[in-house]
Amino acid sequence: MSDDPYQILGLQPGASMAEINRAYRSLAKRFHPDLNPQDPNRFDEITKARNSLSDPTQRASYEAMSLAGDDDAIAVTPI
d(CA 4, CA 42): 14
pLDDT for the residue numbered 73: 46
pLDDT for the residue numbered 39: 87
Most confident of 1-5, 26-30, 64-68: 26-30
Answer yes or no: is pLDDT of 63 > 90. no
Whether 77 is covered by a domain: the verdict is no
Answer yes or no: is pLDDT of 22 > 80. yes
d(CA 54, CA 35): 25
- DSSP codes, 12-78: -TT--HHHHHHHHHHHHHHH-TTT-TT-HHHHHHHHHHHHHHHSHHHHHHHHHHHHHT-TTSPP---
Whether 73 is covered by a domain: the verdict is no
User: How many structural domains compose the chain?
Assistant: 1
Answer yes or no: is pLDDT of 77 > 50. no
Taking the alpha carbons at both ends of the chain, their separation in whole angstroms is: 38
Whether 51 is covered by a domain: the verdict is yes
Min mean pLDDT across 4-13, 20-29, 35-44, 68-77 is at 68-77
Cα dihedral 11/61/2/38 (nearest 10): -80
pTM score: 0.76
Whether 63 is covered by a domain: the verdict is yes
Q: Which domain holds residue 24?
A: 5-67
